[in-house]
Structure 1
Amino acid sequence: MIDTHAHLDMLKSENDLYESVDKLDYIISIGCDKEEIYKAVDIANRFENVYASIGFHPYEIKGITEEDIQNLKKIAEENRKVIAIGETGLDYYRDITPKDLQQEYFIKHIQIAKELNLPLIVHSRSANEDTVKILRDFAPYPASGILHCFGGDIPMMESCVDIGFYISFAGNITYPKADNLREVLKRTPLDRLLLETDSPFLSPQKKRGKPNKPSYIFYTLEFAADLLGISPEELERITDNNAKKLFRIKESKVTI
């Protein structure tokens, strides 16, 4: 099983880290601030079956400079375990970062991803229209990308699939009030579907109230498979194949 989005440096303990690395085939560790980008790369270099994606979350860009952006690009160029750019994007849910600044730096991340031919991992919250507009403005994306922890509606999903992106769902699809997300999941083409934990956030319902970790992805897998009317084994095969294609993962897992 592949967890396409986890903040491994934020897990509760080293034991949780080792357990997750041992139980999953691959994990994409996300770095999305000035410190976390280095932590994500360090963890990826410690474990053969962990890779990194680096970027700046929209809430983190108020203190970001052009020098930081160029450094981000340099880190991605020089580290073979960095296989994507992000998470980046737009988040209008809280008034933390001006919208125009978010959009400016979202575009800078898009440009880096395209220059390096790497997938783009997109965070979008309460910003459906602007997220889709910017993605469309800069299409096509030869290396594709992900709408991570998808929280939009069916039209947004369809728009993102149309420009070649994958749609990733997290543990919040298991929440009682997430009927809208479940409807989107059911309409998402299987060849564009991914699963993630967004650890340590968004624990699935059976573990809600506890910090999330990648090994909890199996709860989300079982829930999603039941919703789609297929076996967990089949859904795991589908989502893992999608992730391997997107991230160009070919090597076998090394036992830790």
Structure 2
Amino acid sequence: MIELADSHCHIDFPDYESSHGELIGNARELGVRYLLNISVCLEDFPRVLAVAQSDPEVFATVGVHPNYDSVEEPTADRLVELAGSEKVVGIGETGLDYFRHHVEPADQLARFRAHIEAARRLDLPLIIHSRQAREDTVAMLREAADQGVAGVMHCFAEDWETARAALDAGFYISFSGIVTFKNAPELREVARKVPEDRMLVETDAPYLAPEPYRGKTNQPGYVRYTAERVAEERGETLEALAEATTENFLRLFRISRNG
């Protein structure tokens, strides 16, 4: 039986008609054992944490998305304070998003640095969101690396040059359902090249459902279809890809395997 890890989902979001318990159960039926529920603002963090506390193999992060405005601005002290639970295994999602300027780039950069500082103090990995901000994101990854901080580029959708820069800075690369889309041949090339020990898979649920569910509400169980496509591109079995990406997930987030 395969055991996958969905390294990035938002099952506390109100998009779902099903409860988070049902979503977790559905994921387990598809071979997805571990889930990481990601924080996007501090106001919702209690809900994010509650989902993680409901199941021994679901975990949480604390952070503020780069393009969320009208929310509590994160300071390193506040992030450290909220990360006190043993279920919190990462800082973020943070990063840069210049696609929509709900938050000005200068403010996004300052927010990013607060997350880097919190990750440095806690020795936790960062979860990085990047959209139309390649140059500044790579510079910030190097800045984080200089402080001994690494993590994962979530929902990676860039080219191999960007992936290589992230890998050189010590970051993992996580593939979402985008890798299954017909218009993503360049991303599939990246999936073929990323070293086996630096790769993760995710859903970013409720967004970006993979084929054959594209256009529908995503859920953690669908990470199986992303893993199948990545395995196919790499000429590997799903079982081998699942084993490698799950071990990477446990190692990056320092999670002990239960059972």
The correspondence of residues 112-151 of structure 1 with structure 2, limited to 5 A, is 112-140=118-146, 142=148, 144-151=150-157
Runs of 4+ in 1 over 6 A off after TM superposition: none
Q: Tell me which residue corresponds to 1:18.
A: 25
CA separation of 1:180/1:138 partners in 2, compared to 1, >3 Å: closer, same or farther?
same
Counterpart CA distance in 2 for 1:164 and 1:201 is 27
Alpha-carbon shift at residue 142 of structure 1 (Å)? 4.2
Counterpart CA distance in 1 for 2:42 and 2:169 is 30
State how many pairs are aligned: 251
Question: Is this contact kept in 1: 2:156–2:174, CA < 8 A?
Answer: yes
1:75 to 64, 82, 98: 82
What SS does structure 2 have at the residue aligned with 1:201?
Answer: coil
Question: Is this contact kept in 1: 2:116–2:149, CA < 8 A?
Answer: no
Paired-residue identity, %: 38
The aligned amino acid for 1:6 is C
Supply the RMSD in Å over aligned alpha carbons: 1.6
TM-score by length of 1: 0.93
Q: Tell me which residue corresponds to 1:222.
A: 228
Counterpart CA distance in 2 for 1:138 and 1:225 is 30
Counterpart CA distance in 2 for 1:64 and 1:163 is 29
The superposition leaves residues 78-122 of structure 1 with CA deviations (integer Å, 9 ceiling, x where unpaired) of 201000000000000112110000001001101100110000000
Aligned: 1:250 with 2:256: yes
TM-score by length of 2: 0.92
Alpha-carbon shift at residue 191 of structure 1 (Å)? 1.1
The aligned amino acid for 1:46 is S
Q: Tell me which residue corresponds to 1:101.
A: 107
CA separation of 1:120/1:113 partners in 2, compared to 1, >3 Å: closer, same or farther?
same
Which ranges of structure 2 fall in alignment gaps of 5 or more residues?
none
The aligned amino acid for 1:217 is V
Question: Is this contact kept in 2: 1:12–1:211, CA < 8 A?
Answer: no
Q: Tell me which residue corresponds to 1:159.
A: 165
Q: Tell me which residue corresponds to 2:45.
A: 37
Alpha-carbon shift at residue 244 of structure 1 (Å)? 0.9
The superposition leaves residues 123-171 of structure 1 with CA deviations (integer Å, 9 ceiling, x where unpaired) of 0010010001112123246463000000221111101101111000000
Counterpart CA distance in 2 for 1:143 and 1:81 is 20
**Structure with the higher fraction of residues in helix conformation:** 1
The correspondence of residues 54-93 of structure 1 with structure 2, limited to 5 A, is 54-65=62-73, 69-76=76-83, 78-93=84-99
Q: Tell me which residue corresponds to 1:6.
A: 9
The superposition leaves residues 30-63 of structure 1 with CA deviations (integer Å, 9 ceiling, x where unpaired) of 0111333221111111111100011000111554
Question: Is this contact kept in 2: 1:21–1:27, CA < 8 A?
Answer: no
Question: Is this contact kept in 2: 1:141–1:163, CA < 8 A?
Answer: no
The aligned amino acid for 2:111 is Y
Which ranges of structure 1 fall in alignment gaps of 5 or more residues?
none
What SS does structure 1 have at the residue aligned with 2:42?
Answer: coil
Counterpart CA distance in 2 for 1:12 and 1:159 is 40
Counterpart CA distance in 1 for 2:146 and 2:46 is 29
1:47 to 55, 58, 61: 55
Q: Tell me which residue corresponds to 1:184.
A: 190
CA separation of 1:32/1:141 partners in 2, compared to 1, >3 Å: closer, same or farther?
same
